Structure 1
Amino acid sequence: MRVSVLRPLLSLSTRRLLAWSPHVPRPLIRMAATTADSRKMMDILPDFPVGPLTPWRQQASFDWRLMKLSIYDEESLRYIHDIWSFFESEKLFHMSPSTLSFDEQRHLALKRMKAMKTFGCMVPMERILANPKMLSAWCEALFTYDIDSAIKFSLSYSMFANVIRNLGTDKHYKYVEQSENEEIIGCFALTEVAHGSNAKGMKTTATYDVKNKQFVMNSPNFEAAKCWVGNLGQSATHAVVYAKLITSDGKDQGLHPFIIPVRCSKSLRPFPGVIVGDIGEKIGANGLDNGFMMFNSYRVSKDALLNKLGDVDEDGKYVSPIRDPNKRFGASLGALSGGRVQITGMAATNLQKAITIATRYSAVRKQFGPENSSEEFAVIEYQQQQFRLIPYIAASYIYRVFHIWFAEVYASFATDSVIGNMSGDEKAAKGLEIHALSSASKPISSWAARDGIQVCREACGGHGYLQATGIGKIRNENDANCTYEGENSLLVQQTSNWLLSFMSNLEKGNKINTPYNSASYLNDINTILKSKHKISSLQEAVDTKVLLSAYKWLVCYMLKLTYDKTKRLSKEGLDSFSVRNDSQAYHAVTLSTVFVEHAMLEKFYEFTLGVQDRNCREVLMKLASLHGAWSLEKHLANLYMGGYFTGETGQLLRDGIINLCKALKPEAVTLVDTLAPPDFILNSVLGKSDGNVYQNLQSAIFSYPGALARPNWWRDVVKWESNEKSKL
């Protein structure tokens, strides 16, 4: 590709990079980490403090730095370290021990967002082009610390600009520049009060006025108000708004993106014709100002339409480079999947933090012991505590590795989309697969984080309920991941729809092609469904290759089961909506779940095979086995009902899970050390790397504002007589 044909939506430095290397090889070859690499990283990965956790660290069979270098790369680790060091060095980023007021949280998040932009927390596109792993590193660096400012930063300087890059054309680049120069603050407005996941039901319209070459924006009622829009409540000046494009002939062309000025960038007052405001306090993440917006015959120029995939000509006729509406929709879906890819990583980050806190605490906290003995054991020694926590350590690794891969895939797709490296058909196929994967990975990872964080809170006992432990904040902030960018239970249906669309071809014996290979094994569906699960030992029951084969069978079984039910319901005379609606519970939702669980496990297994250090690889293989067995165990009913499991297979699987938890106990502290952020970022009295739980608790309790002071309402506590007033 010649640089001269690149759109100016790319920066000059990006164009220079592409001129030098127009075809960046993907995926990049992962270099083997060595002991020398480990020592070289001592400046950013120092030894942990000597303390109560030291004996546990000495039990580990692997070098935690080598493990970290196997998962990440040096560039990513140094970038993350630089960001976290900046946060720690600036007083603005130091956490308050007590909850700030609603307004203080809003103001602080904005100031932090601005400081992050000044420091240079945004990863330039050319750096992502050279190393797609940097997208995942950027997500982890920002979202591990503070969700509020990270989301504001991401919305303002990443998502807003990237949607314009992906769906806009040359004339829209000025908005990207204005955003980069902090002249405007952007947001993304899709959801409406009465419609979220059902985008086709949205009511906001943009009617084209041929005479004045303008679009007239309207919200027919409050139900059509754009709602839950991050950044819109108090700070956004511009919004990418999805509205139904109505051409001059009155025809509805479907949802299209428009870039709309909302507030004056100098006074922050809304423009006439725009009603915009804040939706109020939420359960968590109150530093992010979520807002609502309505339009009353608000006129914007023709150029407001982001017109890469659809436009109106000078005569007001609709035109598009992709004739097939479904393919056009697929291409746009890929561009809009970035938020779900990001949330997959955010959920992994939240789980990593919670499991670090609970594991370190469990290794120090001692309770009970043998009868007739004064010795107490660390609670992690007990089977139930191992069973509660160690599978979530494994899950943290699986989700982290999957997100690194998925972020690379999305980064490549997004840059190829901007550059124009794909045909319309290729873009649609890749976009649909990314949409299908993200529509399942986001729910599965955020649900797992939701459950795991709660388990961690309870595993820390009463101390876990203290705000200073940090788990409550993690729990509240992760909760939103289960809803935004698509409510989980509805979102997974997008994945099942994609999988079901293959069945007619498969029944005819035709091959299907999925660009990222996540569903290619479905071509062998008939052979797979004839296979049986034959194992002869407990070790074989949890072998990752055996588990992957079981998952392939389960996906094929659920696909055929769901497809057969839809056909039966259709023959009974139900309309297409009722057919899909009556095939969700126990069918389509389970299909989506097992599909992405297989994809995640397979990616982790492929990654593990490539790890050069033997000790790291062996531990990672145990994590793969544990996660695969632990996840598959939840589907025992379908495995037995379908005839794939027989006899004592399920019991062998459960015994294998318990044995793996026990085998991984000596590795547990070092495994969480590998994924854990520094103490300043983790911000937990129970999860500090020194393991001095009780000293840290005492310090936090004694130093809490007002902890040792008499309250100013003390008179309401005591009973006293009026004649004693002078003595007090």
Structure 2
Amino acid sequence: MSDLLERANQLDFLKDFPEGPLDAYRKQATFNWKVMTLVMEAENVLKFKHKVWSTLENDPLFAPPPTKRSLLEERGAILEQVFRLQELNFLGERSGDIGDPMLTNVLNVCLGQVDWSLATRRSVTFDFFTNAVRGQAALENHFDALEAAYKMKLIGCVALTEIGHGTNTRGMKTRATYDPQQQKFILHCPDFEAAKCWAANMGKTATHAFVMAQLYTPDGDCHGLHGFVIPIRDPRTMLTYPGVTIFDMGEKIGLNGLDNGVMIFDNYAVSRESLLSKTGSITPDGRYVSAYKDPNKRFGASLGNLSAARIGIVQFCSANMFTALTIAIRYSAVRRQFGNPGELELPVIEYQMQQWRLFPYLAASYVMKFVGDQLYQNFVTFAMSQFNPDISKDELATMGIEMHVLSSTAKPITSWLARDAIQECREACGGHGYLSAAGIGKLRNDNDANCTYEGDNNVLLQQASNWLITVWSNPKRHEMRDSMPLNTLSFLANHSNGISQQTFQSQTLQDVLNPKSLLEAYKWLVQWLLQSSSEKFHSNLQSGKDSFTARNDSQVYNARTLSIAFFEHYALDRFWFGLCSQQELPQDIRQVLTNLFLLYGYWSLEKHLAILYQGGYATGPRAADLIRQAILELCGSIKGDAVALVDAVSPPDFVLNSALGKSDGMVYKNLYLAMSQTPAAFERTSDWKEISKRLKANL
């Protein structure tokens, strides 16, 4: 404890919070918030975050606008900030190599907590476009494009989604047909449904695009989706090239600092070298060549590369939860309502209902922060493995599929968690939470996109369940479990009949609060859902349904729930494994993290109670009573630590930009300042004469 505390105290940016109304709860904490900060984030990452945030706070260009900007003003301001970020050069010199992907991701989260339009636009320009190109690049000119992107000699966008197809990438209709006479690919959208859409930067500013299109050889054969890097606008005039039509998509619910667009190709000819040829290439005479003999494995390797954005969303959502919960919990510790007659009103954080509404999301945010960071590290390992000649194509394909399954379950669960957490925080702050000055409304609108982009959540869950059911049908599934580098099959029992023999064993609350009991229940749950979903699928097949319909008709109450439970278990299993692996962890920190682990776990498991009874794991009222008792007990135990828990992960006040959540806890003073600084707040309305005239007419 002393070593970590000494290190924490040496970090000058981890300053003590100002004295104020929050002191009463800060003093109740069972741990030191600065130590928790060091446990949750590496010291170099903390220093980097401080550097970014303090730099932006002292730059007038990044000052929050006093009023809402118009669409054009918002886009212009965000683009100007992106250019400034290039000048600030937080990541140092970069070239066509992968750079430091961990700090790159930290930068995106830092910027997102300031403004998600800024983070997304920077990420698309410098990361999303370059990662997509790098993941499939094989020629020197492809790496030249990366160099130009890093230096902003070009602005890129990623054109994957089409008007008629999003998550179903295999169904995309944009064609790239090779013409051996011209030695060029002809890009064409056969109809408006094939138009590329939603790509940020595309609407007004991108000069180049990473485009996924169905590759056709001159013999008419389709070789599936392949990536291309192509010019779409002349950088000197910003006009599109002949054969390319682009128009802007207009205002959205949130993220209006991004210029999302629609792009249509009309027999647009691009060079043969535009094809990103790592997974497959075209000879000058028009023959298709690939190191992957199995098209599915080639597609699996490509899927792994596309997982980066979904994993990024996991981290973005945990950051959004931290922001919203910091505001709501600090406010709840200050806001007083009701109490015994004649006594001082109670802070609303004292009420069990407020704890039950907020604390499970606080627990979820800690778990998802840990798992999201680990998944991103895994993706970096996967990305680097593609450059390792000692790793076989089969290994890469397997790892790519594993990354796809994890990202396809992590992204839905965390984006839904963040959606619900932000809304609960908004409501938990009462009427004041509806103010723009509360800092929750814009966060809610910007976060909402996470539920749909990079794949519809429910479709992603279906893709994951398809793989899980396939694994369950494999007689060698237990051998597969031990060969999975990311531990995706850790829920499998050591023997195939393990499900029927297991039941809920806990007799007391203390039994339930044993982490082993929680993990055993989840292992049973995932396996039971796998078995029942597989049986449902095969029953559909036996009734005469085709495979496609059989899978679709196995989703509700079966395969969809399977994918949700699968990732909940994976997150809990990895979090607990990580917690147990840190032998030097102070006992007070270990205890509060264990409480968070248990609270998130049982809060999630409680939603599956019907299945526990349906499958025979639980009988009688005992299981439900104990699980619910545990949730409330854990909420109560976390109450005294709640303010310190958000202090440990909160961004600075400049980033929070919330009258309700400032670290000084002076809610009413800050509310007054926010309201009174509204432009013309104390002036009569400009149309006062017209109003007066109408009033007089009604006298």
Same fold per TM (> 0.5)?
Answer: yes
Distance 1:209 1:688, change over 3 A: same
Q: Secondary structure at the match of 2:10?
A: helix
Q: Secondary structure at the match of 1:255?
A: strand
Query: What is the distance in 2 between the residues matched to 1:130 and 1:383?
Result: 48
Distance 1:336 1:591, change over 3 A: same
In structure 2, the residue matched to 1:613 is 586
Does residue 1:276 correspond to 2:246, yes or no?
yes
CA shift for structure 1 position 208: 0.2
Output the TM-score relative to the length of structure 1. 0.92
In structure 1, the residue matched to 2:362 is 393
Distance 1:134 1:222, change over 3 A: same
Q: Secondary structure at the match of 1:385?
A: helix
Query: What is the distance in 1 between the residues matched to 2:393 and 2:399?
Result: 10
In structure 2, the residue matched to 1:632 is 605
Deviations 1:280-339 (A, max 9, x none): 000001001111100111000000000000111122011111111111111011111100
Q: Secondary structure at the match of 1:463?
A: helix
Query: What is the distance in 2 between the residues matched to 1:260 and 1:597?
Result: 40
In structure 2, the residue matched to 1:415 is 384
CA shift for structure 1 position 398: 0.6
Does residue 1:533 correspond to 2:504, yes or no?
yes
Q: Secondary structure at the match of 1:233?
A: coil
Pairing of 1:545-694 with structure 2 (within 5 A): 545-609=516-580, 610=582, 612-647=585-620, 648-694=622-668
Deviations 1:521-551 (A, max 9, x none): 4263624312222011112223222111111
Query: What is the distance in 2 between the residues matched to 1:436 and 1:143?
Result: 26
Counterpart AA for 2:385: D
Q: Secondary structure at the match of 1:289?
A: coil
In structure 1, the residue matched to 2:185 is 215
CA shift for structure 1 position 49: 0.8
Query: What is the distance in 1 between the residues matched to 2:410 and 2:191?
Result: 35
Q: What is the aligned counterpart of 2:154 among 156, 180, 184?
A: 184
In structure 2, the residue matched to 1:16 is none
Q: Is the 8 A contact 1:542 1:626 kept in 2?
A: no
Distance 1:104 1:721, change over 3 A: closer
Q: Secondary structure at the match of 2:234?
A: coil
Query: What is the distance in 2 between the residues matched to 1:399 and 1:78?
Result: 22
Does residue 1:263 correspond to 2:236, yes or no?
no
Cα RMSD (Å):
2.0
Q: Is the 8 A contact 2:204 2:259 kept in 1?
A: yes
Q: Secondary structure at the match of 1:637?
A: helix
Q: Secondary structure at the match of 2:14?
A: coil
Distance 1:639 1:136, change over 3 A: farther
Counterpart AA for 1:194: G
Q: Is the 8 A contact 2:109 2:119 kept in 1?
A: no
The percentage of aligned residue pairs carrying the same residue is 45
Counterpart AA for 1:692: M
In structure 2, the residue matched to 1:440 is 409
Distance 1:500 1:439, change over 3 A: same
Q: What is the aligned counterpart of 2:17 among 30, 45, 48?
A: 48
Q: How many residues align?
A: 691
Output the TM-score relative to the length of structure 2. 0.96
Distance 1:440 1:576, change over 3 A: same
Deviations 1:59-114 (A, max 9, x none): 10111111111111111111111111111011010101210011000001101111
Query: What is the distance in 2 between the residues matched to 1:345 and 1:127?
Result: 25
Distance 1:383 1:508, change over 3 A: closer
Does residue 1:711 correspond to 2:685, yes or no?
yes
In structure 1, the residue matched to 2:260 is 290
CA shift for structure 1 position 198: 1.1
Distance 1:129 1:534, change over 3 A: farther
Distance 1:166 1:128, change over 3 A: closer
Distance 1:125 1:533, change over 3 A: farther
Gaps of 5+ in 1: 1-30, 724-728
In structure 1, the residue matched to 2:145 is 175
Query: What is the distance in 2 between the residues matched to 1:192 and 1:685?
Result: 41
Moved more, 503-512 or 255-264: 503-512
Distance 1:141 1:189, change over 3 A: same
Query: What is the distance in 2 between the residues matched to 1:363 and 1:722?
Result: 48
CA shift for structure 1 position 572: 1.1
CA shift for structure 1 position 494: 1.4
Counterpart AA for 1:701: M
Q: Is the 8 A contact 1:187 1:238 kept in 2?
A: yes
Q: Secondary structure at the match of 1:215?
A: strand
Query: What is the distance in 2 between the residues matched to 1:429 and 1:721?
Result: 75
Query: What is the distance in 2 between the residues matched to 1:712 and 1:490?
Result: 51
Query: What is the distance in 1 between the residues matched to 2:397 and 2:20?
Result: 55
Distance 1:315 1:78, change over 3 A: same
Query: What is the distance in 1 between the residues matched to 2:255 and 2:690?
Result: 34
Does residue 1:463 correspond to 2:432, yes or no?
yes
Q: Secondary structure at the match of 2:445?
A: helix
Deviations 1:341-370 (A, max 9, x none): 000111111111001100000000000111
